[in-house]
A = this chain, B = another copy of it.
């Protein structure tokens, strides 16, 4: 893959009106009722790891930053609202002059995250906080989904590069473009999606489709033509007619008769159908017997973490995995259920916690202005547990700290010799972006490093060990009080 200078092709769509209509009816309502300036707190969190996994990977923050920075409403938007005949003149005027003036804390991209802890916390005027809900959720839900899924697939490949090949099966254009970005954070080595290289510097590459071979009619002629044009990057697709009887013999012929006379080597062959375990082993032998030990075997065709694990267990001779639809749509579990919940309201300068109850205990929200921490073992560097505290609380590393399971509070554990780190960093303060974004490459490396702090048991695909996200004792009490208050007797 070539190293390309950054092009910064920008997505300059105005997505300000990409919101659920109720954000607008509520915003208008807050304003009319005189609550426009009231400060509220919202958390973005999710309740369940996709695929029954032990954790997820945070992604999408950069898109949220770009969105917040550019958030404004055009004349056309105001005109549209007017036509709906349900918004006040004051609200239209308000929207015309809108800018986001709130504060946002967030967990950086690439961080392994767990259910119920806030990936993002918004402190803002009620209207502002409400209007950004949908975009925050779409962004987080999409990018976390793909980064998380990719990371599973990358871990299954055990060091072999995984390339993102899924654009054509993505759910829409952004599904492809931002999906490739998220998959890079999650550990993909590159993408086939050209625009994602232009926009985000995700390394893009590709060779040929079946159409190239069909176009020539003769497979050898098609391979030969390609080798002549791209002698330094010649990976041949060998399954258009018959892998073992036509594709591989023709590829070897090209290696010998076209490339070697030029002093070049056949870089790879690609299998896109058939029994990949059987074929890859067979092909490896044939290639080696022809002195093409350095020719890589690239495979694709409906791969995911389970199939890749299985191929490796079968001793398949595969050097690179190209993964398409099952990664770019997270096919096995294609929804990341991030939610945006009101957790507190300021009243007379006091932060008053709010709760949403539910018949399902696990759907009851954690109230209050909070912050998630990660506690690491000082010796091993491994993550012990996450703890959510109220924002004003401190965790003192020099003292013993007791964590407890919030459903079974008798299950306690005393922790000593630990490092406590706040997971969120300040991103916006009073409307100003204060966050210096890492490059995508840095987020990808950060992700890889952070994964080392998780025990293997948490990273297991099936029945992973449950990593605890506990509440501080103070927060637990606030929650219990609110449950009592709103529970109908």
- Contact partner, A212, options B29, B76, B214, Cβ 8 Å: B29
State the CA gap A194–B16 with chains docked (Å). Answer: 10
- Taking the complex as formed, is A383 at the interface, i.e. its CB lies under 8 A from any CB of chain B? no
Which segment of A169-177, A306-314, A432-440 sits at the interface? A169-177
Residues of A within 8 A of B (CB): 2, 4-5, 7, 9, 11-13, 15, 17-26, 28-30, 32-33, 35, 38, 40, 42, 76-77, 79-80, 83-86, 126, 130, 133-135, 137-138, 141-142, 145-146, 165, 167-179, 192-195, 197-198, 204-212, 214-215, 217, 225-226, 229-230, 233, 240-242, 245-246, 273-274, 325-326, 329-331, 334-338, 340-342, 345, 352, 354-360, 363, 486-488
CB pair A29–B229 under 8 Å, yes or no, is yes
Contacts A84-B2, A211-B342 hold; do A171 and B171 have CB atoms under 8 A apart?
yes
List of B residues within 8 angstroms of A138 by Cβ: 167-170, 172-173, 175-176
List of B residues within 8 angstroms of A325 by Cβ: 335, 337
The 6 closest A-B pairs by CB, nearest first: A172-B174, A21-B206, A22-B206, A137-B168, A171-B171, A211-B342
State the CA gap A486–B271 with chains docked (Å). Answer: 18
- Contact partner, A357, options B167, B197, B241, B334, Cβ 8 Å: B241
State the CA gap A40–B209 with chains docked (Å). Answer: 15
State the CA gap A352–B216 with chains docked (Å). Answer: 11
A363: min CB distance to chain B, Å: 7
A264: min CB distance to chain B, Å: 14
State the CA gap A340–B168 with chains docked (Å). Answer: 10
CB pair A195–B15 under 8 Å, yes or no, is yes
Contacts A21-B205, A488-B245 hold; do A214 and B356 have CB atoms under 8 A apart?
yes
Contacts A86-B230, A171-B179, A215-B354 hold; do A208 and B28 have CB atoms under 8 A apart?
no
